[in-house]
Structure 1
Amino acid sequence: MSLTAIQTLERTRRLIDDLRALPAETSWVEFKENNSDGHLVGKLIAALSNAARLADQHFAYLVWGVRDGDHEAVGTSFQPGVKREQGQPFELWLASRLQPSLEFRFEEVDYHGQRLVLLTIPAAATAPVEFDRSGYLRIGSATPRLSDHPERLRALWSRLQPYVWETGLAAQFVPGDEVLAQLDYANYFDLTGQRLPDNRQGIFERLEADRLIQRDVGSHWNITNLGAILFAKRLSDFGPSVERKAVRFVAYDGPGRADTVTHRQDGQRGYAAGFQGLVDFIDNLLPRNEHIGSAFREERPLYPAIALRELVANALIHQDMTITGAGPLIELFSDRMEITNPGAPLVSPDRFLDAPPRSRNEALASLMRRMRLCEEQGTGIDKVLTAVELHQLPPPDFRTEGEAVRVVFFAPRRFADMTPEERLRACYQHAALKHESGQRMTNATLRERLGVDAKNASQASVVIRHALQAGLIRPADPEHPRAGYIPFWA
């Protein structure tokens, strides 16, 4: 047996260990002993694939040879490679009845002396999976039709639609010359660090590999939504589903939307093609504060550049593309900046700092990370909060506004001028940031973050006490409360 085969077998055995360790079957895991009825298996594949997508799992699993009740490995007589259904090989018979097609995989495993069969099923990707033209879903131990549960069908489609949008077509049957005229392909090669090919075929091959274009008939091409939204020279060249997602910027001469608009900019270029220009445009409009260093004076922007960059990038990649007629909005007021993107958040706003990065638009996020236009390890919010603390700004407010996420980024303000809510938010964010870096918040670190003198340590103590009462933080060591504090979720 080759080294690769040994590693594959070891991984499969460990996977079965984990599946057996589950306290009970889940919506995306099923155990059987010997039941291999073809129609039952087909329905289960469709149901488990759909359930895996609803549960945010990449795969679902069906294991033969494991007892349902106690998950004991008892072995199975089922042989998928030998079984035939209606005169056809079993796998071929299943594949012909599943829509959309799935790359499911059977594996026969010697598991600690017992013969098991593992079926790995990819989660539904583009549409609900059907068997014999009917969709199914797992609810407990039942496998009902999807059509009998419209609320779950709607939920499933909501998980699938963002994927559909990225791979959807912004323009079809486009001649090669027009593809090069409509997409800023030179910018693509520059941002991805690739050498610009010296022939058209090489350019098209790279654009196709990153799913920015697709081959169409007659030597023509399709431009995907992903290609248009990132690299369009003019978003107006494409349909409303792309054009209306342009970034809008509005600046006011006061603290409210009723004040006079001083600047307005509607983005004309794709996100990647126009990102640096957008950030530079905003940065040039920001007021400057004079900073006196050890030997000279310098002007610094009111808002840290790195924080602005990360927040704008987050708004682009985390928006819900399926919400029509809406795109990211950046508003600059005299006392704050607000960045809004359509779509309810996938995680609670108070967990943006520690939650693993998730995006509705994985292809968009992946490519923007490759181009270093957004944070690669999901630490963009860490950088925002670190920059805010370094400049001793009021804490940003991450909030849900209807079906949108809004980040409010405040201009400099002294501790004495902060509201009680802002002081609590600053305390919580500081504790979370310290925890993420392996440290603990103390009275001293909070004083430094808030710009409070040591002689006024009691002010920081009051903030900590109120944060404890609000359940935002807790003592790292209950036996020694003054040893430091950590966020409530730690």
Structure 2
Amino acid sequence: MQSARDIDLVNELRAQPDEMEWLEFKANNADPEMIGLRCSALSNAARMVGRETAFMLWGIEDGSHRVMGTSFRPESEKIGKQPLQLWLAQRLQPSIAFTFREISHPDGRVVLLEIPAATGAPVCFNGTPYIRIGSATPKLTDYPERYQALIDRMRPYRWEGGIARQYVSGDDVLALLDYSQYFRLTKQPLPDNRQGIFEKLVADRLVAKDVGERWNITNLGAILFANRLSEFDDGISRKAIRFVAYEGKTRATTVKHRHDGQKGYAVGFEGLVAYLNDLQPKNEHIGAALRESHSMFPELAIRELVANAMIHQDMTITGAGPLIELFSDRMEISNPGIPLVQTDRMVDLPPRSRNEALASLMRRMNFCEEQGSGLDKVIELVELHQLPAPWFRAENHATQVVLYGPRMFADMSPDERVRACYFHAVFKFLSGDKMKNATLCARLGIASKNAAQASAVIKHAQEANLIRVADPEHPRAGYVPGWA
């Protein structure tokens, strides 16, 4: 497949009217200094014009773009005792993943050098950045306006735009992705022709045009809409959501249920939430006439936290994805990557996502709350159901949220009581109100005659600098978070 794609790629590059800022043709010139300088110039120029890749080709006649063949063999070229590719890699900074490929084109042997566009900083050769202007390759520093433009156009690498499956037919795209679910979830009518379908998929960056009438499926398209994640490589398949249910309170107890997700996040989300809701423990309450069964954890809280684990994970950590563990007294939801905001400020500060395109599309499909309001809703639901406060923590390059089942105040640990006090103060503050002894009593289920217990919790939270008196001159005015 790769050889067929490479031939199509060569033909598409030959079809360009002339050499471009990101494209150069050579016959047999194998001068290493020239190659290194061109790598810098083409990489920087590609970013300037909004391309992700630049190319050099040997064996193509300049002008006519006819395949003439080449004697250049990058694998056997040496500078002193060093292989050419190692020599280049040592002199290009920041390091870029350039690749040489020898292509057996029907009209002759071609060598293709594929050069990624600059991302974090201008690419330098021997400490100097170069740029492509027409057919010239001057120093970038000689053109300060271009240097500034390049800096402005560089951005951090976005995992969503990476390629999950390359050079696939249109039929394969439609077989690998559940495109009908994409249209249903985004509330768009399903087009009655293939061209209309692909126009929408391209617009949302789920697929991108490749060469030779083929397509690339992006990481975003695969992780959200794959019919089966296992049909993609480990970079996608290992990010499937895993679920484990234990019989008791520890991982040493018997595993009752285990499920490894197969569908893309968007395709499988509704089924996953329903599955979790069915399996979680139920508590029975006797109403006026009937015995009612209620889930231990609010479904909307689970929905929001699972969506957050999907959205905010560090996709660059390989071999790991979201993990949901259900114990007899709690649910733990983990994702790879430490949070980008402090764990005790995750409720009030706007979220920072590594995966902005993924987050935006998930919100469009109503899988989670509008930006900045999701965890507020979780705290509100936890308080409404009088559950212990959730625990947000970061450890071992992962983020974890623990939802606890119902627990009486007497059964809570001191840390759990203080955490509940802090989040209650945060919730009140975000609602334009202040926490008071009476509101904390109601939150923790403390009888008014035992209000001293709430006062003790407030004192411990103050000592931990988690809360403070809202107005020191009027102590009875209430309490606010320590950062307020």
TM-score (norm 2): 0.70
Displacement of 1:319 in angstroms is 0.3
Aligned with residue 127 of structure 1, among 110, 119, 125: 119
Q: Does 1:418 align with 2:412?
A: yes
Alignment identity in percent? 64
Match of 1:209 in 2: 203
Structure 2 Cα separation of the partners of residues 477 and 172 of structure 1: 61
- The aligned runs of 1:460-475 (5 Å cut-off) are 460-475=454-469
Match of 1:46 in 2: none
Structure 2 Cα separation of the partners of residues 436 and 100 of structure 1: 46
Structure 1 Cα separation of the partners of residues 472 and 275 of structure 2: 50
Aligned with residue 431 of structure 2, among 423, 434, 437: 437
Q: Does 1:366 align with 2:312?
A: no
Match of 1:101 in 2: 47
Answer yes or no: is the 8 Å Cα contact 2:282–2:295 preserved in 1.
yes
Instruction: Please identify, of 241-250 and 371-380, the stretch whose mean Cα deviation from structure 2 is larger.
Output: 371-380
Q: May I ask how many residue pairs the two structures share in their alignment?
A: 355
Match of 2:254 in 1: 260
User: Which amino acid counterpart does residue 169 of structure 2 have in structure 1?
Assistant: P
Match of 1:160 in 2: 156
Displacement of 1:293 in angstroms is 3.5
- The aligned runs of 1:97-246 (5 Å cut-off) are 98-102=44-48, 127-130=119-122, 133=125, 160-161=156-157, 163=158, 165-246=159-240
Answer yes or no: is the 8 Å Cα contact 1:446–1:460 preserved in 2.
yes
Q: Does 1:357 align with 2:351?
A: yes
Displacement of 1:132 in angstroms is 6.1
- The aligned runs of 1:60-71 (5 Å cut-off) are none
Structure 2 Cα separation of the partners of residues 437 and 204 of structure 1: 44
Displacement of 1:102 in angstroms is 3.6
Structure 2 Cα separation of the partners of residues 97 and 259 of structure 1: 55
Answer yes or no: is the 8 Å Cα contact 1:99–1:129 preserved in 2.
no
Structure 2 Cα separation of the partners of residues 334 and 231 of structure 1: 32
Answer yes or no: is the 8 Å Cα contact 2:167–2:211 preserved in 1.
yes
Q: Which runs of 5+ in 1 are unaligned?
A: 1-94, 105-124, 137-144, 146-158
Structure 2 Cα separation of the partners of residues 285 and 135 of structure 1: 60
Structure 1 Cα separation of the partners of residues 46 and 349 of structure 2: 32
Q: Does 1:319 align with 2:303?
A: no
User: Which amino acid counterpart does residue 483 of structure 1 have in structure 2?
Assistant: A
Q: Does 1:391 align with 2:337?
A: no
Q: Which runs of 5+ in 2 are unaligned?
A: 1-40, 51-116, 130-140, 142-154
Match of 2:441 in 1: 447
Q: Cα deviation per residue 1:263-282 (whole Å; 9 max; x = unaligned)?
A: 00000000000001111111
Displacement of 1:220 in angstroms is 1.2
Q: Does 1:249 align with 2:243?
A: yes
Structure 2 Cα separation of the partners of residues 359 and 168 of structure 1: 17
Partner SS state of residue 447, structure 1: helix
Answer yes or no: is the 8 Å Cα contact 2:409–2:446 preserved in 1.
yes
Structure 2 Cα separation of the partners of residues 135 and 277 of structure 1: 54
Displacement of 1:246 in angstroms is 0.2
- The aligned runs of 1:275-424 (5 Å cut-off) are 275-424=269-418
Structure 2 Cα separation of the partners of residues 373 and 98 of structure 1: 39
TM-score (norm 1): 0.70
1:449–1:394 distance in 2 versus 1, CA, 3 Å: same
Displacement of 1:294 in angstroms is 4.1
Displacement of 1:103 in angstroms is 7.2
Answer yes or no: is the 8 Å Cα contact 1:186–1:196 preserved in 2.
yes
